[in-house]
Structure 1
């Protein structure tokens, strides 16, 4: 069996990570024959919670999981890592101006970028999840000048998955029968889900999305607003932000970055630095 790879997840005590870590540890991201060392990085007040997460991962008895390391120190978290999933960031709180949010996240991602530059392998693949993901990714990359810029990307795969699912449900097919969906813009309500180049496999025949859906008004109206507002709709229903679907999107994104896609298709919008 292959040598273990080292994977760090930041914000590891949070709800997204709670849905994410099991999938990584059981081989959904890096392969079913790839042993994993998981490093769980979070702020000092969350270390007791991380201890509980470590116990649960141990109790899962996952054959690929070689070690779990909880820490609040970047020099431990980023040491010799092969992949970094940066979930943790400062959330926007009531009364907080955008400039205040950006200022807080500059400090976080500048520190993490510098730690990547100093401690991580130069081949490390970095996925920024914490919002504003595009800006945070840029900060991290600029703070890690010795790591190739193409090794950094940020998450918009959740919006892509939402768009694919909406089209698939409308056509009565599974989501893997929808391809070439594009998400333009940030992970926010201003994004534009674009299906003008999308294809849908219906009954073995590949059709353009507009021909498969047969409802142009829906594609130009409710489809777009549903994808744009999906995060808010989840919060309204759950009283919590998306976690399970966000974790699945992280897995999809990192798996494609790690292994590549089987065909040339636009399945996500990655940050261009």
Structure 2
């Protein structure tokens, strides 16, 4: 689902939501009436998490697990930043995580990721790049603000990199993830990791036979916890705003 009112330079997220709530409520009605009930939906248009949630709520005949949104673009950017800093091809980096909303509040997490060194040995990312200042500063800012920087430069949001990420998302969803590897997808929260159930939130997932599954049991430290809670809180606020817009239309 790439159709939507685009986020332009200087626009607030709330302005974009006001226009897209109506669009996605109508799209949901069309899906509910005409689509195969096993259709798999990937929302790319922003506000991606909220647009996907609107589809889920207003297309009740389609399973919630089939409504997803794109955070693979952020995931790919995080992989690229780590690969560049470590001096290895991006294909040698895996298991970063994008937690939360596809916005400037999402959190790119490298605590569980690994890098395959030129010697062919897999090592934790933080062992290969022993630089907390970079991870907590430039790295986070680059991944979180990438979309805004592109809009500032182009006056429009990214296109080719988003298309590439959408292909990655769908490919893994349908064909599976490699053993020992996960990817980031915006999916329906079941309450995992203390995220309020019912939100569309980006989690680490593995995929098999056309189904995604949230990776469980990853330790969450005291630094990460408030970041995850803050992006969840933003999603709750956006859901409440979307509800109020819908009630007023």
TM-score by length of 1: 0.64
Could you tell me which residue of structure 2 aligns to residue 164 of structure 1? 79
Change (3 A) 1:169 1:99: closer
Give 1:102 deviation, angstroms.
Answer: 2.5
Could you tell me which residue of structure 2 aligns to residue 208 of structure 1? 124
The answer as to whether partners of 1:122 and 1:147 remain within 8 angstroms in 2 is yes
- RCO higher in structure (CA 8 A, sep ≥6): 2
The answer for unaligned runs of 5 or more in structure 1 is 1-85
Could you tell me which residue of structure 1 aligns to residue 215 of structure 2? none
Distance 2:9 2:153 in 1: 20
**Looking at CA atoms only, which structure, 1 or 2, has the larger radius of gyration?**
1
Could you tell me which residue of structure 2 aligns to residue 227 of structure 1? 143
How many pairs does the alignment contain?
188
Distance 1:186 1:192 in 2: 8
Distance 1:123 1:98 in 2: 31
Superposition CA RMSD, Å: 1.9
The answer as to whether partners of 1:201 and 1:207 remain within 8 angstroms in 2 is yes
What is the SS of the residue equivalent to 2:185?
coil
The answer as to whether partners of 1:182 and 1:269 remain within 8 angstroms in 2 is no
1:145 pairs with one of 48, 56, 60: 60
Could you tell me which residue of structure 2 aligns to residue 188 of structure 1? 103
1:254 pairs with one of 151, 154, 170: 170
Distance 2:44 2:136 in 1: 28
The answer as to whether partners of 1:90 and 1:105 remain within 8 angstroms in 2 is yes
The answer as to whether partners of 2:56 and 2:64 remain within 8 angstroms in 1 is yes
Could you tell me which residue of structure 2 aligns to residue 271 of structure 1? 187
Could you tell me which residue of structure 2 aligns to residue 199 of structure 1? 114
The answer as to whether partners of 1:192 and 1:228 remain within 8 angstroms in 2 is yes
1:10-58 deviation line (CA, Å, top 9, x unaligned): xxxxxxxxxxxxxxxxxxxxxxxxxxxxxxxxxxxxxxxxxxxxxxxxx
Distance 1:98 1:224 in 2: 20
Give 1:133 deviation, angstroms.
Answer: 0.7
Identify the structure with the greater helix proportion: 2
Give 1:191 deviation, angstroms.
Answer: 1.6
Distance 2:96 2:13 in 1: 30
